[in-house]
Amino acid sequence: MKLLEEVRIGNLGLQNKMAMAPMTRSRADLNGVVSDLTVLYYAQRASAGLLITEAINITEQALGSPFTPGIFTYEQIVAWKKVTNAVHDKGGKIIAQLWHTGRVGHSVDKGGVLPVAPSAIAIQGQQHFTSQGPKEYETPRALETKEVKLIVQDYKQAAINAIEAGFDGIELHAAFGYLPNQFLVESANQRTDEYGGSIENRSRFVLEVMQAMVDGIGENKVAIKLSPSIPFNSIIDSNPTELFSYLLKKLNNMPLLYVQLMNAMFPTDNLPQYPRDVIGTFGGLTKHALMANGGYTRETGEQELEKGIAKMISYGALFLANPDLPKRFELNAELNHPDRATMYGGGEKGYTDYPTLN
């Protein structure tokens, strides 16, 4: 199977072409520090070619949901070092996904402070999970230009912190409606400064963040995740094909580790401008190693690799429920089913208690 073949991405030799996709698990403490359970969780899944962590808040401001981890304090970095050591001891490789949620948050979990965003535009038609239950989204505070530039530096420092914590690299979470994605699209970005208006200006924040992180930690250690055809969190653009084509071509100028593209995971019948075949539309535009994400099975992942565009496939819920997923794919063994009720928050149940084959 191509999925089980070794592969080299940048300077990383990987034991197979299967990555564990980043998945929020909400099991850090209120200070954003991960526990020994998290160490066990990632170590259990170290047979993945590459582990990508749950999204990690780069600063206190970045936090959107309770019990999500950070990487901006000494205690947080030390806790993550236990995770990376455990994964490396098992022969695995692990990447930190860096996160700023922007407007995807609520003041009840931010000390009464409003979320920030490119523009003062609230998410519509959804509620946010908070420590006090589901709540309607608030109108965020629009960032000043000087604040945007400070957040670029926050990402750089978070990348440096991740390397200090022993990670093999970092991935910018620029997908699914979080802050970098908010800068990219017209529905969330109505700025009139250098970060708004044209496609070039709306792409500026993501490109500056990526360059700052490359400057901070070096070549072949920085990756990015994009979701060109996902309208979730009120992310709408009139021409996503032109937007993401421009962005991918600009990213070709940087020495990146990989680009991860999410498939269209939501109905887009009323958004005909959104490409359904994300990998086919955008995959050929990047010169970097391409990772395909979103809804793949053993069979469809193999088929995607056989097309020759993607170099790796990332699996989310299947890895959540099957710590030994590569072995199960090798044997075509029966899979555990993920328990949706225990995905977010709690203890070991639905986290570290999924059985392996042996």
Residues with catalytic roles: 178
The residues facing 290 across adjacent strands are 259
Is the CB of residue 336 less than 8 Å from the CB of residue 321?
Answer: yes
d(CA 182, CA 121): 10
Structure tokens at 300: 């469809």
3-state secondary structure the chain: CHHHCCEEECCEEECCCEEECCCCCCCCCCCCCCCHHHHHHHHHCCCCCEEEEEEEECCCCCCCCCCCCECCCHHHHHHHHHHHHHHHHCCCCEEEEEECCCCCCCHHHCCCCCCEECCCCCCCCCEEEECCEEEECCCCEECCHHHHHHHHHHHHHHHHHHHHCCCCCEEEECCCCCHHHHHHCCCCCCCCCCCCCCHHHHHHHHHHHHHHHHHHHCCCCEEEEECCCCCCCCCCCCCHHHHHHHHHHHHCCCCCCCEEEECCCCCCCCCCCCCCCHHHHHHHHCCCCEEEECCCCHHHHHHHHHCCCCCEEEECHHHHHCCCHHHHHHHCCCCCCCCHHHCCCCCCCCCCCCCCCC
